Amino acid sequence: DSGVTQTPKHLITATGQRVTLRCSPRSGDLSVYWYQQSLDQGLQFLIQYYNGEERAKGNILERFSAQQFPDLHSELNLSSLELGDSALYFCASSVDNNEQFFGPGTRLTVL
Partner 1 sequence: TQLLEQSPQFLSIQEGENLTVYCNSSSVFSSLQWYRQEPGEGPVLLVTVVTGGEVKKLKRLTFQFGDARKDSSLHITAAQPGDTGLYLCAGAQYNNDMRFGAGTRLTVKP
Under the rule (CB under 8 A), what is the footprint of partner 1?
Answer: 2, 4, 33, 35, 41-43, 45, 48, 55-56, 88, 90, 92, 97-105, 107
Shortest gap between Cβ of 74 and partner 1 (angstroms)? 15
DSSP character at residue 85: G
Q: How far is the CB of 6 from partner 1 (least distance, A)?
A: 8
d(CA 109, CA 97): 30
Q: Report the half-sphere exposure of 100 (CA within 13 A, side-chain side).
A: 18
**Rounded to 5 degrees, what angle do the CA atoms 103, 47, 59 make?**
115
Shortest distance (Å) from residue 49 CB to partner 1: 12
CB of 82 to partner 1, least distance (A): 22
Using the minimum distance from each CB to partner 1, give the nearer residue, 59 or 77. 59
| CA angle centred on 88, ends 83 and 94, rounded to 5° | 140
Rg for the chain, CA atoms, rounded: 13
Closer residue to partner 1 (CB): 39 or 70: 39
Report the residue number, 64 or 90, with the smaller CB distance to partner 1: 90
